[in-house]
Amino acid sequence: MAAPMVRGGVLLARKALVPQPSLAGKRCLLSAAYVDSHKWETREKEECHLADLASLMDKTYERKLPVSSLTISRFVDNISSREEVDHAEYYLYKFRHSPNCWYLRDWTIHTWIRQCLKYGAQDKALYTLVNKVQYGIFPDNFTFNLLMDYFIKKENYKNALSVVFEVMMQEAFEAPSTQLLSLYVLYHCLAKKTDLTWEEERNFGASLLLPGLKQKNSVGLSSQLYGYTLLGKVELQQGLRAVYHNMPLLWQPGYLDRALQVMEKVVSASEDGKLCKEALEVLDRALQALTAPAPASPEEQPQAGEGSQGSGNLAEQSDMEESEQSRLPQYLERFKALHSKLQALGKVESGSLLTLTTQLVKEQLPTCEAEDIAAYEQKLQQWHQERVHLIQREQEQREKAKQAHQSRGAAKASA
């Protein structure tokens, strides 16, 4: 069992605590005030011994009973070393696979990410986030931002990109700050990465499109164009199902057509919105490559397991793809005409998308931060009230159980 190991590890770990790295001393994208952990550190919490909590949870699971959300919350709250982060990961997994799995509290998820960053376990934070189904880690925007900024500060854009992809998968682009940070990471990675696999094109495309739809500016419009283009390439080269399967995207065909519609929108709009030359070049190259004659290749054999049961769906999908393929010459002509109109109207932005996004972040992020910090402080109060209510309910249930036990004992004594 894990309990003896955890209890022993807890006692050893308490003798040598890992010092907290300071995230507030150096500004990257988020300000020192945003990443400051003082309010979180000074929150009211219950002081518990992890060895006792581990023993309680193991005994509860052995009796086939559910562990309460308060118990796992107390365990995560009282982490005090890197080793204890590993123990908490084990119990988060156990809790996720228990009857109470739906009751992992938002404050527990936030605290888990905070503790991972505090004790140098950012790898665990990312691992449990990517494997969210197994651990139940579905952070809010503020928590996503903290993790993203941590990796940006460390210039670990590979992991920062993984966080952005998780934001996309969880459709968590509600906060403008998360949109801005995500677009900054995406364009920083695209500036250095040219050869993309089709899976990367799909993930980049969706991650650009979703925040781009929420940004009412040139970066947002260009991100929509870029995203639709990448998704259109995947649609025509890998099939429509490859675009929307396990993705928060439309299953209707025509992603390249939607990219051209963005161009038409900018041409007809009276506002000052522009499209970045870089995004237009991506669409141009995609259309040129897709309309070029494909090299002859041997006929693909059907994969094992593809029988008559799925033949109808495959035929329908093949018809849709052939229809899109037949429209490519028309798409290319539309692109050339719209591109000329954009140039004539002065609606082509020559600056790189990374430069434009960086400038947008500098202009808008301070205002977004103030809103996020105010909302975070309110959320801390709300979490405290919810936790107090749960503790009171837990005490009431214990008192009822105690009275029931005493009643049963009295009944046996009088029998």
pLDDT tens-place string over residues 68-77: 999 999 999 9
Among 176, 279, 264, smallest CA distance to 218 is for 279
Q: What is the DSSP letter of 44?
A: -
User: 171 — alpha (psi -120 to 50), left (phi > 0) or beta?
Assistant: left
Task: Tell me the whole-structure pTM to 2 decimals.
Answer: 0.85
- The SS3 of residue 236 is helix
**Residues 209, 115: Cα–Cα separation, whole Å:** 32
**Residues 28, 127: Cα–Cα separation, whole Å:** 23
**Residues 4, 55: Cα–Cα separation, whole Å:** 8
- Torsion sign (Cα): 85, 89, 92, 98: negative
| Phi, then psi, of 80 in degrees rounded to 5 | -135, 10
pLDDT on residue 311: 52
Place of tokens 């390439």: 233
**Residues 146, 113: Cα–Cα separation, whole Å:** 9
List the chain pLDDT tens, one digit each, 415 residues: 444 444 444 444 433 433 444 333 344 689 999 999 999 999 888 899 999 999 999 999 999 999 999 999 999 999 999 999 999 999 999 999 999 999 999 999 999 999 999 999 999 999 999 999 999 999 999 999 999 999 999 999 999 999 999 999 999 999 999 999 999 999 999 998 878 999 999 999 999 999 999 999 999 999 999 999 999 999 999 999 999 998 998 888 999 999 999 999 999 988 888 999 999 999 999 999 998 876 644 444 444 344 444 454 555 555 566 788 889 999 999 999 999 999 999 999 999 999 999 999 999 999 999 999 999 999 999 999 999 999 999 888 887 877 776 777 777 777 6
Question: Amino acid identity, residue 347?
Answer: K
pLDDT, tens digit, 9 for 90 and up, residues 131-170 = 999 999 999 999 999 999 999 999 999 999 999 999 999 9
| Phi, then psi, of 264 in degrees rounded to 5 | -65, -40
Place of tokens 């947002």: 220
Q: Given 3-state DSSP classes, what are the helix, strand and coil percentages for the chain, each rounded to the nearest 5? A: 70, 0, 25
- The SS3 of residue 57 is helix
Could you count the other beta carbons within 10 Å of the beta carbon of residue 71? 18
- Which tokens in the block code for residue 294? 């494909």
